[in-house]
A and B are shown apart, each in its own frame.
Chain A
């Protein structure tokens, strides 16, 4: 049996696969990233709690009062009402087919609402009402903190 001789003083780090690992990491980051299309400064409250799950339905209200449903511009709250209604119905049907006789979980109905802190009532309130009419449960997104403290 022949023995391989190790040369003294030679150390080499295997770098051949570094590029592959790096590209795999990039792919991971790209797929996991969620890009924010609407620039919103969320409101603050001391009573804000952690929202465990990211809801499947999302409504954004921009600084200019523009409404967005799942990141796409919509003209009025009625469009949001019908979108919420339609989404809940389709998910409910799927759920009913899969789990016979079991009630639909509330988390299916949750609609995430992101609204800029400075938007006025005549814009956000009709949206809230529309979501409620459509059967959605509102998850209003905001930061935890004292609203009287100025943002840094």
Chain B
């Protein structure tokens, strides 16, 4: 438990802590008012300093509608009840998480989600050589006007970092991982195509209501590694084709970022999505 009063007392003047919007154990996310601007404050234990610093280093440069801008350029230390923490501010995104929004998307809504996520992933990869690695409904915000923002970039890794291939399943979430994330010790590098696979899982989920690979089932890993997932009936062909490519078992079977974007655009056009 964090003592909110103690944290508030140690924040700079003009920053007023609001409601807690996420509780990930030691990792907390608060709404806050910063001199009249609504912001998000992320608080992490000292052990997560590297992750926080990475998130700030990357996120403070973001200038993209589908990614959150970090407002600080460094992390701040704070001691709460004798324990060391770090914190930083991020621009507040109005709306709700995709998890809260739920499934039941129509094909055009799903393609809009795919387009926004692909744009975010393209920006992360082409500008920062970063793979997000944990694209899932709770890490996607739905703005009131319907656009999507990919959040929690802190667990993303620069492709050349040596630790990138070590120690899955963290980061990554069971049910929302690509096959290559399950083989951390085989020297496989992750790249943007891993994120495309994860986008495929989310798009499938919002359309079908369940994930293509069901983590609650005993054969989950076997099916994931073999690339066996149920093809849903009734999807328009361009959407089914897109899922087929995004959920390619091996990275080489998936599209490039440019191809994925082109496929999504073509599908939206074919389905006459607005």
**A and B are partners in one complex rather than unrelated chains:** no
Mark A residues whose CB is within 8 Å of B.
none
